[in-house]
Structure 1
Amino acid sequence: MTERIYRNEVSVETARALLSYDPLTGSFRWIEKPSWGVSVGEIAGFITSAGYRSIRIAGVGYQAHRLAWLHYYGEWPTNELDHINSNKDDNRIANLRDVSRKGNCENQRRPQRNNTSGFLGVSWAKNEKKWKAQISHGGKKRAIGYFSSPEKAHEAYLAVKRELHAGCTL
């Protein structure tokens, strides 16, 4: 392949000629030998430090979930692709959805690193000596309430999250 390919410019025809994609498993395999040391039939790509699978085509790295969308639907996604179950290497077509940035953020499942409760939307309220549930919506934090356990606070958080965040699949 001698043509220069820029990000998101690899055609569906080129992707399908080089890679087979199994929509039930989300895996890619090489149809053509892409480079020295890589065999036909081998699983394509590698896991990046961010946890996504990346596949190089003509020297350009592509995220496997975006290639899965291209391979399956014949066109690039128009927005961000959300891994519904939050597993960044689960590239089954049933686990991918084309959503806005907001919709992608609304499907967050893991608490921030500094969260000591271990539950999304739950923190310890020192003054009240209870667990506090709160959620962000419309750029503002909204208090949900105080609870005797982090589990109860998390249940309340999830109920409100499902109501407010259309992109939530929890």
Structure 2
Amino acid sequence: MEIDRNKELPIPFLRECLDYNPETGILTWKKRPESHFLHSSRADGGFNKKFAGKVAGNVMGRGYIWITLCGQSHFAHRLAWAIHYGKYPDGIIDHDNGDRTDNRILNLVESTNEKNSRNQKMRRTNTSGHMGVCLRKDTGKYRSFIQEGGKRIWIGNYDTFEEAVAARVAAEKKYGYHENHGRN
């Protein structure tokens, strides 16, 4: 099978190379047929001796599991989706519980960038302790805001942190943010 290294890999090829357990989310290497070694200096199946039956991939810098196939790195969650459903997702994949290493099929949700941004964890740079709430140094009041349709909406200014948080939580419900949004 001829593989274009710059595109998504054919699903039959993925299924030849990897086993996916949808209940655990784990991808494991399968024993590869000799045809997979034609472009390798080791036609003896050295890969099979070293990797067959072992967990595929490594957790990389951003917390996702990456798997290298045909000289390219691929997100494990996209490969899991493709193997399970027989097609690649149309959009991006969101990890519903926020754990980027949890590739169980019930945790993977087809999404858009906007929907995915509504299920973010709190950023390290957050200084108030709640997303969308900040202290205005000029007035000493707390300001609440939220993103909607690519624009920042200012909810209001409040005397207390608790009032600002309550306003932000109400806005999250109004605009359909995920219940996990803002988790630590």
Please indicate the TM-score interval, normalised by the length of the shorter structure: 0.7 to 0.9
2:71 aligned residue: 59
| Residue 15 of structure 1: how far off its partner (Å) | 1.1
Segments of structure 1 that go 5 or more residues without pairing to the other structure are none
Name the SS of the counterpart of 1:35 in structure 2: helix
Are 1:29 and 1:42, in contact at CA under 8 Å, matched by a contact in 2?
Answer: yes
Is 2:125 aligned against 1:114? yes
Cα distance, 1:138–1:97 mapped onto 2, change above 3 Å: same
Segments of structure 2 that go 5 or more residues without pairing to the other structure are 33-45, 180-184
| Residue 55 of structure 1: how far off its partner (Å) | 0.6
Cα distance, 1:154–1:27 mapped onto 2, change above 3 Å: farther
Amino acid at match of 2:139: E
Pairwise mapping of residues 11-26 of structure 1 onto structure 2 (< 5 A)? 11-26=10-25
* Distance across 2 between alignment mates of 1:147 and 1:23: 49
Which of 50, 69, 78 is the aligned partner of 2:81? 69
Amino acid at match of 1:22: N
- Let me know the Cα RMSD of the aligned residues: 2.2
User: Which has the larger helix fraction?
Assistant: 2
Name the SS of the counterpart of 2:145 in structure 1: strand
2:116 aligned residue: 104
Identical positions, percent: 35
Matched pairs, number:
165
* Distance across 1 between alignment mates of 2:131 and 2:69: 37
* Distance across 2 between alignment mates of 1:31 and 1:10: 16
2:52 aligned residue: 40
Are 1:5 and 1:60, in contact at CA under 8 Å, matched by a contact in 2?
Answer: no
Larger Rg: 2
* Distance across 2 between alignment mates of 1:66 and 1:81: 7
Cα distance, 1:109–1:122 mapped onto 2, change above 3 Å: same
Cα distance, 1:132–1:38 mapped onto 2, change above 3 Å: farther
Name the SS of the counterpart of 1:9 in structure 2: coil
Amino acid at match of 1:118: G
